[in-house]
Structure 1
Amino acid sequence: MSDDHVYMTLAEGHEDDARWAYGTGFEDPLHGVDTTVPEGVDAGELAAVCVALADDALVSAQRLAEWITRAPELEEEVALANIGLDLLGQARLLYSRAGQADGTGRDEDAYAYFRDAGDFRNVRLAEVPCGDFAFSIVRLLLLSSWRLAHFERLASHPDPVLAAIASKGVKELAYHRQYAAEWTVRLGDGTEESHRRTRKALEQVAPYLGELFTAFDVRDEVVAVLRQVTRAAGLPMPVYRPLPGSGRDGEHTEHLAPLLAELQGVARAHPEATW
């Protein structure tokens, strides 16, 4: 691996961003933003986009939380937890916007805790179990690269609320991608065992790439990042053969329902509770 680290290249254009965003942060990104759905924007479509992106973030955050007390180093435990908090913050804002747009007035808890697995619209890669550290890092690289590319486009969305959420999310996701790229190179260019595990992780995520590329038209950006990182890590590009079905249509793996049962258990047992 050369001194010209791949993650330094990936960070270009985001040099002034804070290293951590910590969930929703201390400033309200929607302060002063008009929440009226603009003319020409289909409220139903807007709500659907917000729910799908929020589901991706919520499920991903839940998986990242599973690394608490299990990460290989304390620093990585903190890093993964805070990336999860960033995603949870995005989910909260997106769920709130969905409730405004679809006219139901549902809050973030209603979306997160009181829907069944078939009602969720997250991509399936987000719900697959963590596996080993290499798998979680490779998954984070793919999901953060994909989400960043899409949020960069959404930052100019005609809905000012979604645009503001995306603009804030770009800063967070740029670091998520940088962190995952660092670790992918470190593992791929590390020991024989770490190289083997990372290569296996790329093979494991490959079947889910097709779903990412059909959900939003950001294939070229994601492939470019993946090619750059795998080359620096001495790893092969994954060859993907898309699985049938799509999480965007409510078709999920057998892993989502147990994840939601753990996530939603307390809220469903005490539906009127506040804290």
Structure 2
Amino acid sequence: MQNVSRKTQTPLIEYLLRLGDSTLVLGQRHAELCGKAPALEEEMALMNVGLDLFGQARNWLTYAAELEGDGRDADALAFRRDAQDFRNLLLVEQPNGDFAETMARQFLFDAWHVPLLEGLAEASDPRIAEVAAKSLKEATYHLRRSSEWVVRLGDGTEESHARMQRAIDTLWRFTGELVQFDEVDQAMAEAGIAPDAETLVARWNATVEKVLEAATLTRPPADAWMYTGGKAGHHTEHLGFLLAEMQYLPRAYPDATVW
């Protein structure tokens, strides 16, 4: 375990929970699509992305549990916390909807996730830098794939264009958290762990503008009203239902072991 000062330990644990919870919840949304994708190739791709996200979540939550030092591990953090204890972005807990919504949600997350991981790969904390560098390779593929689908559907048929525009419009109100920063984000930037806010916001905006333009889609207003609070434990009703399914077995059989 890395040496972490008392000043940064609590914000660092909180920050790691945000990273781990967002990838865990989005991975679970992908798991829900098993057997429901529009084509076999897409089902395999969705499941692979989900597995990547689960792996990233385990890495972040394992480090958070080690820093807590109270005997919990990554599984305990994933399966023994209630919704108000989760710190994931509101965007990732939104339902899958149709394929356009699934890909729009993934794209809006990926456009933020890639520059975030690029910054974290240069973190002063070697453990975080190592996990971020590995995750970046996966996230770069995720962004390429989700961008291509946004363009393909947006610049496709009249029906596909309408569905993708509707998906972007619906999910846009949950993107505010991606580019809003609080005291935890600030503490991580000052500690040389997280990238600075201006760089991350600029990169996210540039990617979104480029892809939506190529997809012939209209970007919602920059001053649109936003839902926020996920990073502080205030969630939509969707997270509770997701956790009820994801956590059922570990909670019903807490002492079960794998033979």
**Aligned with 1:212 (options 163, 168, 178):** 178
**Aligned with 1:85 (options 40, 46, 51):** 51
Report what 1:242 is aligned to.
225
User: Larger deviation: 259-268 or 138-147?
Assistant: 138-147
Residues 88 and 145 (structure 1 numbering): CA distance in 2 closer, same or farther, change over 3 Å?
Answer: same
Structure 1 runs, 4 residues or longer, greater than 3 Å off: 38-41
> In the TM superposition, what are the counterparts of 1:21-36 in structure 2 within 5 Å?
35-36=1-2
**Aligned with 1:255 (options 238, 245, 248):** 238
TM superposition shift of 1:58: 0.5
Quote the RMSD (CA, aligned, Å).
1.4
Amino acid at match of 1:256: L
TM superposition shift of 1:64: 1.0
Report what 1:117 is aligned to.
83
TM superposition shift of 1:99: 1.1
- In proportion to residue count, which structure has more helix? 2
Query: What's the secondary structure of 1:271's corresponding residue?
Result: coil
**CA distance in structure 2 between the aligned counterparts of 1:219 and 1:205, rounded to whole angstroms:** 18
TM superposition shift of 1:45: 1.7
**CA distance in structure 1 between the aligned counterparts of 2:51 and 2:42, rounded to whole angstroms:** 14
**CA distance in structure 2 between the aligned counterparts of 1:246 and 1:61, rounded to whole angstroms:** 20
The alignment of Structure 1 onto Structure 2 pairs a total of residues equal to 241
1:272 counterpart = 2:255: yes
Report what 2:191 is aligned to.
none
**Aligned with 1:227 (options 204, 209, 232):** 209
TM superposition shift of 1:243: 2.7
Residues 151 and 41 (structure 1 numbering): CA distance in 2 closer, same or farther, change over 3 Å?
Answer: farther
Amino acid at match of 2:49: I
**Aligned with 2:135 (options 125, 150, 169):** 169
**CA distance in structure 1 between the aligned counterparts of 2:71 and 2:201, rounded to whole angstroms:** 34
Residues 80 and 45 (structure 1 numbering): CA distance in 2 closer, same or farther, change over 3 Å?
Answer: same
TM superposition shift of 1:40: 8.1
Unaligned runs of 5+ in 2: 186-196
**CA distance in structure 2 between the aligned counterparts of 1:214 and 1:62, rounded to whole angstroms:** 25
TM superposition shift of 1:245: 3.7
Could you state the TM-score of these two structures normalised by the residue count of structure 1? 0.84
The answer on whether the counterparts of 2:105 and 2:171 sit within 8 Å (CA) in structure 1 is yes
Amino acid at match of 1:249: A
**CA distance in structure 2 between the aligned counterparts of 1:120 and 1:179, rounded to whole angstroms:** 28
Identical aligned pairs, as a percentage? 43
Query: What's the secondary structure of 1:239's corresponding residue?
Result: coil
Report what 2:163 is aligned to.
197
TM superposition shift of 1:102: 2.2
**CA distance in structure 1 between the aligned counterparts of 2:128 and 2:70, rounded to whole angstroms:** 18
**CA distance in structure 1 between the aligned counterparts of 2:20 and 2:93, rounded to whole angstroms:** 13
> In the TM superposition, what are the counterparts of 1:107-146 in structure 2 within 5 Å?
107-146=73-112
**CA distance in structure 1 between the aligned counterparts of 2:82 and 2:24, rounded to whole angstroms:** 14
**CA distance in structure 2 between the aligned counterparts of 1:174 and 1:184, rounded to whole angstroms:** 16
TM superposition shift of 1:233: 1.0
Residues 244 and 225 (structure 1 numbering): CA distance in 2 closer, same or farther, change over 3 Å?
Answer: closer
**CA distance in structure 2 between the aligned counterparts of 1:41 and 1:155, rounded to whole angstroms:** 22
Could you state the TM-score of these two structures normalised by the residue count of structure 2? 0.89
The answer on whether the counterparts of 1:37 and 1:101 sit within 8 Å (CA) in structure 2 is no
TM superposition shift of 1:238: 2.3
Report what 2:189 is aligned to.
none
